[in-house]
Amino acid sequence: MSRKLIVATAQLGPIGRDEPRASAVARMISLMEQAYERGVKLIVFPELALTTFFPRWMIENPNELATFFETEMPSSETQPLFDAGKRLGMGFYLGYAEEVVENGTRHRYNCSIIVDEKGEIVGKYRKIHLPGHFQPEDWRPFQHLEKRYFEHGNLGFQVHDAMGGKLGMCLCNDRRWPETFRVLGLRGAELVMLGYNTPMHYPQAPEHDHLQDFHNHLSMQAGAYANGCWVIGTAKAGCEEGCDLIGGSCIIAPTGEIIAMTQGLGDEIATAEIDFDRCKELRENVFNFALHREPGDYGPICEGAETRDRMRADITENSVFRAH
């Protein structure tokens, strides 16, 4: 049986701070309709696709901060996306800010879901590698307060059987960590989907600004190749509230080659046919994990949690991080 699927990366241009969800949702449905004309069955939207990238601001007013989070999925505002997916027979990946109450405690995560072609949520991921800082830092031209606003994702890197393949997810900064792709690869992922919001300016090392597109593709192509899986990476791009974000949304083959890519920095799709069976070209040869890996020599990969916890405790001392 053929395991081929036409897929799309669905890049979004900037979303304004005051732009209502209905507008972002309408823009995404328009991309789904374009994709449908090209036979697409699975479409990948960006990280935090329903709102502007709000961690770039220190938002002191808790009521305002709360407006950027989804307390239910789907909600009346996001239901049209699910309806469109069902109508068009198209699954989708969607990134958003999630607020949940578990055992009486509120938690907030940078989250993504897979919705299948029947409109069912079949997988959820909560971002593990949260970049940025806890406290506002005046020297920066814009903030990156993901560590303040979100908790470390507690669902791990799971692989979901859906859309005829084994699907994994991650979000933005996760793609820079080979461990993300390797854990998904070890669990059999044939396709890894991810959304990103990546500024062109890297305040800590501005001499790397001209390398942002290169590092984006380098990480995703290496992740695809070394794990013999397909990768779809989707940007929120363009000048969002004065902050320039890279584009370069793409579909990458298990060989590491980019086979489709967006051209601009606005709302745009790029599409390709993928064949899940092509993962075997790598996974049964150079990256036959069972045969060639040497896990006995990889010990340090899983060490360091105590040092990390100590460093974070120092950084967050006197921080309101724990209070929100």
- DSSP-assigned beta bridge partners for residue 58: none
Write the DSSP string, 194-208: EEE--BS--TT-GGG
Give yes or no for residue 11 binding ligand CDV (CB under 6 A): no
Given 93, 150, 196, 225, the residue binding ligand CDV (CB under 6 A): 196
Active site (annotated) includes residue 172: yes
In angstroms, what is the minimal distance from the CB of 46 to ligand CDV? 10
Given 30, 80, 122, 131, the residue binding ligand CDV (CB under 6 A): 131
C-beta closer to ligand CDV: residue 173 or 227: 173
Given 197, 221, 249, 262, the residue binding ligand CDV (CB under 6 A): 197
C-beta closer to ligand CDV: residue 4 or 215: 215
Active site (annotated) includes residue 170: no
Report the site for ligand CDV in 254-293 (rule: CB under 6 A): none
Q: Where are the alpha helices (DSSP H) in 228-256?
A: none
206: which 2 tokens? 């501005």
- Which of 41, 111, 166, 172 is catalytic? The answer is 172
Q: Classify residue 248 as left (phi > 0), alpha (psi -120 to 50) or beta.
A: left
First CA to last CA distance, the chain: 51
Active site (annotated) includes residue 127: yes
CA distance readout (Å), 117 to 46, 48, 167: 18, 21, 14
Distance between CA 73 and CA 121 in Å, rounded? 9
Q: Is 132 helix (H, G, I), strand (E, B) or coil?
A: coil
Distance between CA 8 and CA 10 in Å, rounded? 6
C-beta closer to ligand CDV: residue 220 or 270: 220
In angstroms, what is the minimal distance from the CB of 238 to ligand CDV? 15
C-beta closer to ligand CDV: residue 144 or 160: 144
The candidate with the shortest Cα–Cα distance to 39, out of 15, 5, 14, 12, is 5
What's phi and psi for 122, nearest 5 deg? -115, 0
Task: Tell me the residue type at 71.
Answer: T
Report the site for ligand CDV in 135-194 (rule: CB under 6 A): 144, 172-173, 176
C-beta closer to ligand CDV: residue 21 or 236: 236
Site string for ligand CDV, 73-102 (x = CB under 6 A): ------------------------------
- Which of 47, 70, 240, 268 is catalytic? The answer is 47
C-beta closer to ligand CDV: residue 198 or 221: 198
Give yes or no for residue 198 binding ligand CDV (CB under 6 A): yes
- Which of 70, 98, 127, 146 is catalytic? The answer is 127
Q: What is the CA radius of gyration of the chain?
A: 19
In angstroms, what is the minimal distance from the CB of 212 to ligand CDV? 8
Give yes or no for residue 234 binding ligand CDV (CB under 6 A): no
Number of residues that bind ligand CDV (CB under 6 A): 10
- DSSP-based helix, strand, coil % in the chain, nearest 5: 35, 25, 40
Cβ atoms of 122 and 162 within 8 Å: the answer is yes
What's phi and psi for 259, nearest 5 deg? -110, -10
Active site residues: 47, 127, 172
Contact residues toward ligand CDV (CB under 6 A) are 47, 131-132, 144, 172-173, 176, 196-198
